[in-house]
Amino acid sequence: MKKNKINWTVPKGTELTELDKKVLFYQSRGHLVPSRRLIKTPEQIEGIRKSGMLNTAVLDRVAEKICAGMSTAEIDKLVYDYTVEHGGIPACLGYEGFPKSVCTSINEVVCHGIPSEEEILEEGDIINVDCTTILNGYYADASRMFVIGRTTPQKQKLVDVARECLEIGMEAAKPFGFVGDIGNAIEKHAKKNGFSVVRDLCGHGVGLEFHEEPDVEHFGKRGTGMLLVPGMVFTIEPMINMGTWEVFIDEEDGWTVVTEDELPSAQWEHTFVVTDNGLEILTH
């Protein structure tokens, strides 16, 4: 017999709260539930929110400056300087050996592009800038697409649909719904528009560490995956491809994720907290 995973445990002698009872009920029915430590306290949520505000200010700064002729190394410097000047730490720098402060992913690069002096932005490029900030120990993670000048209608549509996928994923998430509801909604919207969803990378819990449980896949079945409980904090960050969903990692740098067919990819990301009504964005 398959044993259920017991994630939600209550210390002996503590009285069960209404929340404990509710989650334990789902767990007893065989649903995957979060462990209790994934539920952030109001103080922790405030800390992540403040980190999110700085992260947003960093991305706003990038938005002001980004233009054709700029190198991605200049974006990296901007992110490093602004973050550090405001008391934060760029989480990417040195993370599992990542060499820069931000990920810059142009056109067919899906994510984890490494900023470089040699890489110059050109008119018509679409670029994802993915920034994660640590402030007072709290992590917030968000990314945006930037269109350099004007691009082709197809690439513009890809950027727009990827953004809609993030919004639709957010709306699909309800307290005591499931992680699979999010991915299901995203995949439907991408497919309806003739695009595909990257399957090898996913959103993730975040806040006290860079990557926590659960994995938030951007495809899947409704009613499956981890139960969504108020106080959980995670990202949604759909990577939407114009062609095939398949990707590979650049062997030379060990980081850059590229589409198999070298057609463009777009991604948007926010950090969210589950509330009693749905999701609230912490990286506005």
- Lookup: tokens for 218: 């951007």
Residue holding tokens 């490494």?
114
Residues 73, 96: Cα–Cα separation, whole Å? 20
Residue 219, contacted partner among ligand MF3, Co ion, none, CB below 5-8 A by kind: none
**What residues from 226 to 255 belong to the interface with ligand MF3 (CB under 6 A)?**
237
Kindly tell me which of 33 and 183 has the beta carbon lying closer to ligand MF3.
183
Q: What is the DSSP letter of 107?
A: T
CA distance 140 to 271: 6
Q: Which stretch binds Co ion (CB under 5 A): 62-70, 87-95, 136-144, 177-185?
A: 136-144
Q: Could you tell me the smallest distance in angstroms from the CB atom of residue 132 to ligand MF3?
A: 5
Q: Which of 74, 76, 108, 130 forms a contact with Co ion (CB under 5 A)?
A: 130
CB of residue 210 to Co ion, shortest distance in Å:
8
The yes or no reply on residue 235 touching Co ion (CB under 5 A) is: yes
Binding mask 135-174 for ligand MF3 (x = CB under 6 A): ------x---------------------------------
Cα angle for residues 95, 99, 102 (degrees, 5° grid): 75
Residue of 32, 58, 62, 92 interacting with ligand MF3 (CB under 6 A): 92
Phi, psi dihedrals of residue 156, rounded to the nearest 5°:
-60, -40
CA 123 to chain centre: 26
The residue among 31 and 49 lying less far from Co ion, judged by its C-beta, is 49
CA dihedral 149, 203, 219, 168 (to 10 degrees): -60
3-state helix, strand, coil in the chain (%, to 5): 30, 25, 45
Task: Select the span of 58-66, 69-77, 90-98, 117-125 touching ligand MF3 (CB under 6 A).
Answer: 90-98
Q: Which residues are at the interface with Co ion (CB under 5 A)?
A: 130, 141, 143, 235, 237, 269
